Amino acid sequence: MFKSFLIALVFLFAFANSSFAEAKREWFNSIIVHAVRDADYKPDLREDFYVNTNHDWLVSAELKPGRVVNGNFMELQDAVDAAVRAMMTDKSLKGHDAELIHTLYKLWLDWDARNAELENNLKIIKNYLLKVEEIKDIKDLNAYFQSEECLMHGGFIANFSLGIDNDDSRYYNIELYPTGLSLGDSAEYKELSANGARDKKQSEAIALYMLNKLGYDKAQAAKIINNAFEFEKNIAEYMMTLNERNSPDAIKKLYANAIKLEDLKTLSPVFPFYEILAAHKVFSERINLQEFKWLDGLNKIYNNNNLENIKAYLIRNIASRYMGRLDENSYRELQKISRERNGIKQSKPDEYLAADFVHGRLPSAISKIYAEKYIAPETKAEVTQIINDAIAYYKEMLAGEDWLSEETKAKAIEKLEAITPRVAYPDKWEDYSKLDFKNLSYFNAIESLNKFNLQVNFYDKLNAKVDRERWVEDIAIVNAYYLPNHNEIQIIGGILSGDFYRPDMSYEEKLGGIGFVIGHELSHAFDTNGAQFDKNGSIKDWWTEQDYKTFKARADKLINYLNNIQVDGKAYNGELVQTETIADTAGIKAMLGIAAKHKDFDYDKFFRAAANIWKGVMTRERQDQLLKFDVHALYYLRVNAVLQQFDEFNKFYKLKPGDKMYLAPEDRALVW
């Protein structure tokens, strides 16, 4: 995907004696807010193409209230969000969807009503917690996990959700996945990083506030928080780290583990996973178990000796979940904790937050209106043509790869030609006709919405075929995706404006903007994750053994190149960002392939358009978070480290050894 996004699953090894293996490469870290301005950094394009292109914007860039990031994506999202905010109070909008939007927006903003409901809502949450407190032994805990109370209002230590069957992507399956961790990454429980420390402080502050509000004294709350963390620490020993889960080798480890429901009786003899699913009527023969080691570990620690820690984990999570749903004081404290964690001083205005919330919970209702008002049919047609041109180039490129056998080339081209392009908006949306917020409080409206989503987005789809006409629920976002399970790219409506696409742009700017996006998404079909899926979206080997070895060796060279980049004097994590960087480089290559067919093509406009879409700044706390979790390279590396791989870039700007933007041909690390 072009930015961070996953749908249940969505997504190297040095050549010996490579001449760049020991070379360290570092550019000025220009994405920290005010860094370029404070350093008065004005580089020549040969030193830093990213800053040279975006200098004036980087100097003047500020973070808006409540933001940890600003940039091209955010500025365009702001414009989209402004259109969405206008919907919240637009009385000209008629129909049931508009009524839902308007009602939920008003309920969110009505602090007087939310404050008045506080005591009653606290009683409701206390009753949820009482069900956990009353658990005396593992037998009681088993019964709790099988109860409707737990499903609707409680918490689990083993999770299940709807996914896409990796053996037959026409169908949904049930994904069984590991325990949720407050620190996000199991590696943090062995060695706490600075980013992990911030997450821990935030989690503990939220839990302490809510437990105190729910009647626990400080000593009781501290014990619950410590015990919950102890449970996480114990189970984390059996869980894959984030790096392991993001490795291309993890695709088959995580998503090719088909089991039968009955198998859980043997695989999980102590923890009653089979009984839990049966009690909640989750009957399916399409089940995938993500981590066998985790489930084995859970069975080892699921006993009366750890009962209090498990209960503490559930109590902490249930209490913390409701902080943003209560009164104004609770919400303001949550904002304060979040600001401290993310290194910002202000929060967004309430009207913005309310609109964001409604948008997130009623995406189809928002998107239908947005599509009708803001996306012209001509836009859809032109973007579709660029996709067709990119696919045509990819066919030529794959056919010309001399390191691929004819057998693998044929399979690759077959997969390419099977890719389904989705542009702007679908023709079918979520049906909200059975959802109603009339006469409900804000708290109860959210409960009603949760029940609705559980029914229509889980139970109604269980054991059903995937409805491919409903390919996206939210188009009022600035993003694009490749879905390996469906072998399709989605160029979402929200991204089809601003610096990515405007009808009045030059052709070169369109290729550097939305063309780069399109090439990137197509390339995900052939990155180290996507290459493991066949034309039908199933996890299947379609490579010859030798071709796949060569492919991985080429990817290894890219990882090695990325690992030798320094960010603030520290080595970059090339393995984490490899798939997205493969997509970035192959995406640029595809657009350059199209460019080569046009006489008098303006390469300066193209390269600067490609650099411009990645302009952005952020807090250092946010950068540290991204370095830990994000599979995308930092903004300036998505420009400098990508463009220097190409002959066209080096030759057009007459780069030479000694220029920071120059990369010798033998050191370039293109996978495709």
Could you give the CA distance from residue 183 to residue 198 in angstroms, rounded to a whole number? 9
Read off the pLDDT of residues 168-185 as tens digits, 9 standing for 90 and up. Answer: 999 999 999 999 999 999
Average pLDDT, rounded, for the chain:
94
Q: Residue 14's pLDDT band (boundaries 50, 70, 90)?
A: very low
Tell me if 611 sits within 8 A of 50, measured CB to CB. yes
Could you give the CA distance from residue 478 to residue 472 in angstroms, rounded to a whole number? 13
* 5 pLDDT above the threshold of 60: no
Q: Please state, as a whole number, how many other Cβ atoms lie within 10 Å of the Cβ of residue 500.
A: 28
Q: Where are the beta strands (DSSP E) in 462-502?
A: 480-483, 488-492
Q: Residue 50's pLDDT band (boundaries 50, 70, 90)?
A: very high
What angle is formed at CA 391 by the lines to CA 387 and CA 393, rounded to 5 degrees? 115
- Which of 240-249, 375-384, 635-644 ranks highest by mean pLDDT? 635-644
Q: Please state, as a whole number, how many other Cβ atoms lie within 10 Å of the Cβ of residue 408.
A: 20
Q: Which pLDDT belongs to residue 370?
A: 96
* 20 pLDDT above the threshold of 70: no
Could you give the CA distance from residue 290 to residue 293 in angstroms, rounded to a whole number? 9
Q: Residue 66's pLDDT band (boundaries 50, 70, 90)?
A: confident
* 630 pLDDT above the threshold of 60: yes
Q: Where are the beta strands (DSSP E) in 398-524?
A: 420-424, 480-483, 488-492
Q: Which pLDDT belongs to residue 23?
A: 74
* 18 pLDDT above the threshold of 50: no
Helix (H) or strand (E) holding 566: strand 566-567
- Which residue is listed with tokens 């595809």? 590
Residue 225, Ramachandran bin (φ over 0: left; ψ between -120 and 50: alpha; else beta): alpha
Say which residues have a Cβ less than 8 Å from residue 290's Cβ, sequence separation at least 6.
175, 176, 177, 178, 254, 255, 257
% of the chain at pLDDT higher than 70: 97
Q: Which pLDDT belongs to residue 22?
A: 52
- Which residue is listed with tokens 């404050």? 115
What angle is formed at CA 577 by the lines to CA 574 and CA 578, rounded to 5 degrees? 75
Q: Where are the beta strands (DSSP E) in 335-440?
A: 420-424
Determine the average pLDDT of the residues in 652-664.
97
DSSP string computed for 123-177: HHHHHHHHHHHT--SHHHHHHHHTSHHHHHHS--SSEEEEEE-SS-TTBEEEEEE
Read off the pLDDT of residues 585-610 as tens digits, 9 standing for 90 and up. Answer: 999 999 999 999 999 999 999 999 99
Q: Which pLDDT belongs to residue 657?
A: 97
- According to CATH, what is the number of the domain 118-326? 1.10.1380.10
DSSP string computed for 80-120: HHHHHHHHHT-TT--SHHHHHHHHHHHHHH-HHHHHHTHHH
Among candidate residues 160, 165, 174, the one with its CA nearest the CA of residue 486: 165
* 153 pLDDT above the threshold of 60: yes
Q: What is the Cα gyration radius of the chain? A: 26
Could you give the CA distance from residue 394 to residue 82 in angstroms, rounded to a whole number? 37
DSSP string computed for 177-188: EPPP-TTS-GGG
At 456, list the tokens.
């229509």
Choose the weakest-confidence range: 13-27, 197-211, 534-548.
13-27
User: Strand 172-177 and strand 287-289: pairing?
Assistant: parallel
Q: Which pLDDT belongs to residue 9?
A: 37
Q: Residue 3's pLDDT band (boundaries 50, 70, 90)?
A: very low
User: Strand 420-424 and strand 488-492: pairing?
Assistant: parallel
Domain segments of the chain: what residues? 35-85+361-667, 118-326
Could you give the CA distance from residue 475 to residue 363 in angstroms, rounded to a whole number? 8
Of the CATH numbers 3.40.50.300, 3.40.390.10, 3.10.20.600, 3.90.70.10, which one belongs to the domain with range 35-85+361-667? Answer: 3.40.390.10
% of the chain at pLDDT higher than 90: 94
Q: Which residues of 453-468 are buried (b: 16+ CB within 10 A; e: fewer)?
A: eeeeebeeeeeeebee
Alpha helices (H) along 598-646: 603-612, 620-629, 637-643
- 3-class secondary structure, 422: strand
Could you give the CA distance from residue 277 to residue 293 in angstroms, rounded to a whole number? 20
CA distances from 8 to 171, 254, 390 (A): 14, 11, 28
DSSP letter (8 states) at residue 582: H
Could you give the CA distance from residue 333 to residue 338 in angstroms, rounded to a whole number? 9
Tell me if 645 sits within 8 A of 670, measured CB to CB. yes
Read off the pLDDT of residues 91-133 as tens digits, 9 standing for 90 and up. Answer: 999 999 999 999 999 999 999 999 999 999 999 999 999 999 9
Q: Which pLDDT belongs to residue 653?
A: 98
Could you give the CA distance from residue 461 to residue 381 in angstroms, rounded to a whole number? 32
Could you give the CA distance from residue 575 to residue 568 in angstroms, rounded to a whole number? 18
Q: Which pLDDT belongs to residue 659?
A: 97
Read off the pLDDT of residues 431-468 as tens digits, 9 standing for 90 and up. Answer: 999 999 999 999 999 999 999 999 999 999 999 999 98
Read off the pLDDT of residues 552-593 as tens digits, 9 standing for 90 and up. Answer: 999 999 999 999 999 999 999 999 999 999 999 999 999 999
Residue 268 has φ and ψ, to the nearest 5°, of -130, 70
Tell me if 513 sits within 8 A of 447, measured CB to CB. no
